[in-house]
Amino acid sequence: MTPTPAERAAQLRKQIEQHDYRYYVLAEPSVPDAEYDRLVRELQALEAEHPELRTPASPTQRVSGEPVAGFATVEHRVPMLSLRNAFTEEEAVAFDRRVRERLRVDHEIAYTAEPKIDGVAITVTYENGRLVQAATRGDGVKGDEVTRNVLAIASVKPRLAGKPPALLEARGEVFLPLAGFQRMNEQARERGERIYINPRNAASGSLRQLDPAVTRERPLELLFYGVGAVEGGSVPGSQSELIGMLRDLGLNTNPETKRVEGIQGCLEYHRALHARRAALEYEIDGVVYKVDDRAQQERLGYVSREPRWALAHKFPAQEEMTQVAAVEFQVGRTGALTPVARLVPVFVGGVTVSNATLHNADEIARLGVRIGDTVIVRRAGDVIPEIVKVVADRRPPHARKIVIPARCPVCGSAVVRAEGEAVARCTGGFTCRAQRQEALAHFASRRAMDIEGLGDRIIEQLIERELVRSPADLYALTAADLEGLERMGEKSAAKLVAAIDRSRKTTLPRLLLALGIRDVGEATALALARHFGNLDKLMAADAATVEQVPDVGPVVAAHVAAFFASPDHRRVIRMLRERGVHWQDVRRPVGPLPLSGLTFVITGTLASMTREAAEEQLVALGAKVSKSVSRKTSYLVAGADAGSKLAKAGELGVRTLDEAQLEAILSSRSPPAEAADG
């Protein structure tokens, strides 16, 4: 049973708190960083979609890691915040765009780029140049006092050089160099003691020793990258100059830190450092970008537990070697056969991996991979691991070539691979059980035919009992048919029959989306409906005619034409009509639509209609409907309980409409007065 948003949020918070405890307190992580990041991102997305679920105690609103027992607790003068993560260059580019939009500049921004050392964040307080206190980040507000242990680190200066401020909180990272980590683990192995899984946890464990003498034996290092509170002295106006100031005071800073121009400078730095990653003396998991101008940092401010002016751009996950034991082919909704390598289990990036995607036949050929080969596996983010290289000199004599099956492994139908395409496909269509399950779920989804209550488990039972072979069969179901299913009583069956009946009346764009034509999403379905007006004209069109639709290229046009040329698909459409499914045709617009060029965002709850219905009507009038507010947004429609989008619209100066004003636009089929005048 799918949990409600509130239940899922509670599950995520509990999991994240457990992982925080193991990571920060025990120094024994149970999941890799990629898995932890996934949980946090899922919670962030859930809270963004349901602002009422966000609480001050949520892990998304605070820095992870509570103080541990055995150390005094220190309250930071200035909170120690965490950083937003990016895993792709596109996300980094989006960060730069947000920075420039908020600063309202169209020129490049200067950044300071530095390695993201995988260690323990620390704050060291100097009063009149003398080290008086050191503390871990903890939960960002309070941390553990580890002054004696930090003083035990050989490279730490107990007194600053030059003329320091009266009070200076220097922020940095405690870490273990790789050579020292390996030596420490070798000695521990010889003594039969605990072996640390990675340098970060070894550094954390070393810093949290109750006996500073033990810490002194560990080869810890500390590099500084910023400041917290500063009193009785001035701080340079840029991040890069600040690093120079810390260096002049005798504090160790990272020589890899560099001032770069614009996001391209950041990305070039990221690529260059990633290429040298293996040659570095310490473990890094990415790069940190910071807006160089500290006045701009102040203007950008903070959101939740993160500064808006900084970003951690992560590197791809680690790689490992293993063997390909077998290859199986999975069949998806569109009939695509995806080869999946079954691997000899291997520990990669903190998890045991036993499967990896091979994508398609072209990828198999490119890699030259065979069953029995030793391969390098990479776990990139949260997606299924992939094979990136074959270790050719380890190929055994019995290695076998991977052959795409001639018949579908699910239904036995012929498998074809169109000329110029990398993907092989089952031709079974709705007759293929693998495609049928996914196709029916897609058909019933909220954005398609919107059959409430028709979930995966019910669809699975309908297919198992041969009650449904195609979407048209849904409209022949009776309450008696449904009452025989598991967990389906008389009332539930009646409700589902009623939901199916309601879905008989729909629109042409929704029907086109529901049919599951390859590469036809909501926007393309709407474009097709607008261009042809009715389904019969679309079904009669060849690929060249379909390609005349705006924004439809030759590949999509070929998919559309092939779909409607299929006798099986035509039979399903005929049966849908015979069973009472009817759809509203689209009047082909003459000239520009009244809301063309305007972008709307809808937030909160509408009383007179659903948000989906409002979006459909706006799009029908030519508007674009977006999920997020930006400077390009023309209007924000705010219903009841509007959340963060309303606040952002106010910040950006985006005009807000209430529900009555939206209804006036829809009924008059015209934009607001000032938009029409302008």
Residue of 239, 223, 232, 71 whose CA lies nearest to 157: 223
Winning range, highest mean pLDDT, from 10-24, 315-329, 425-439, 482-496? 482-496
Residues 11 and 34 in one domain: yes
Q: Please tell me which residue, 611 or 264, carries the higher pLDDT value.
A: 264
* Residue with token string 């390098």: 376
Give the tens place of pLDDT for each residue, 346-388. Answer: 877 557 889 998 988 888 988 899 999 998 887 644 456 888 7
Cα angle 221, 147, 256 (rounded to 5 degrees) comes to 25
Helix 262-275 and helix 89-103: axis angle, to 10°? 150
Q: Is the pLDDT of residue 676 over 70?
A: no
pLDDT at site 309: 95
Residues 611 and 578 in one domain: no
pLDDT at site 312: 94
CATH number, domain at 577?
A: 1.10.150.20
Domain-located, residue 257 = yes
Residues 499 and 516 in one domain: no
pLDDT at site 300: 93
Residues 91 and 240 in one domain: yes
Residues 542 and 482 in one domain: no
Give the tens place of pLDDT for each residue, 58-79. Answer: 666 555 555 445 578 889 999 8
Domain-located, residue 325 = no
pLDDT at site 230: 94
In this prediction, what percent of the chain has a pLDDT beyond 90? 41
pLDDT at site 68: 47
The sign of the torsion formed by the CA atoms of 21, 27, 31, 33 equals positive
Point out the least confidently predicted range of 30-34, 208-212, 336-340, 497-501: 30-34
Average pLDDT over residues 187-210: 74
Residues 149 and 167 in one domain: yes
Average pLDDT over residues 217-242: 92
Domain-located, residue 347 = no
- Of 478, 503, 528, which residue constitutes the final position of a domain? 503
Are residues 136 and 144 in contact, defined by beta-carbon separation less than 8 angstroms? yes
- Of 503, 522, 550, which residue constitutes the final position of a domain? 503
Give the tens place of pLDDT for each residue, 247-270. Answer: 999 999 999 999 999 999 999 999
Domain-located, residue 389 = no
Domain-located, residue 238 = yes
Average pLDDT over residues 591-610: 85
Q: Is the pLDDT of residue 334 over 80?
A: no
Q: Is the pLDDT of residue 136 over 70?
A: yes
Residues 472 and 573 in one domain: no
Cα angle 645, 651, 653 (rounded to 5 degrees) comes to 100
Residues 564 and 658 in one domain: no
* Residue with token string 């034996």: 217
Mark 166-205 as b/e (b = at least 16 C-beta within 10 Å): ebbbbbbbbbbbeebbeebbeeeeeeeeeebebbbbbbbb
Strands (E) in 349-457, as ranges, are 351-357, 374-378, 386-390, 415-416, 425-426
Measured CA distances, 539 to 368, 548, 560 (Å): 42, 15, 9
Verify whether residue 142 is a known catalytic residue. no
Residues 27 and 14 in one domain: yes
Are residues 471 and 418 in contact, defined by beta-carbon separation less than 8 angstroms? no
Q: Which of 14, 116, 157, 258 is catalytic?
A: 116
pLDDT at site 678: 39
Strands (E) in 26-83, as ranges, are 73-75
Q: Is the pLDDT of residue 310 over 90?
A: yes
pLDDT at site 26: 55
Confidence of residue 407 (pLDDT cuts 50, 70, 90): very high
Domain-located, residue 356 = no
Domain-located, residue 376 = no
Q: Is the pLDDT of residue 677 over 70?
A: no
Domain-located, residue 119 = yes
Helix (H, G, I), strand (E, B) or coil at 338: strand
Give the tens place of pLDDT for each residue, 107-127. Answer: 999 999 999 998 889 999 999
Residues 617 and 580 in one domain: no
Q: Please tell me which residue, 295 or 595, carries the higher pLDDT value.
A: 295
Average pLDDT over residues 149-159: 86
For residue 14, the enclosing domain spans: 5-61
The sign of the torsion formed by the CA atoms of 655, 656, 659, 661 equals negative
Residues 606 and 555 in one domain: no
Residues 29 and 177 in one domain: no
- Of 503, 518, 545, which residue constitutes the final position of a domain? 503
- Provide the domain count of the chain: 5
Please state, in angstroms and rounded to a whole number, the distance separating the CA atoms of residues 184 and 166.
38
CATH number, domain at 31?
A: 1.10.287.610
Q: What is the DSSP letter of 278?
A: G
CATH number, domain at 273?
A: 3.30.470.30
What average pLDDT does the chain have? 85
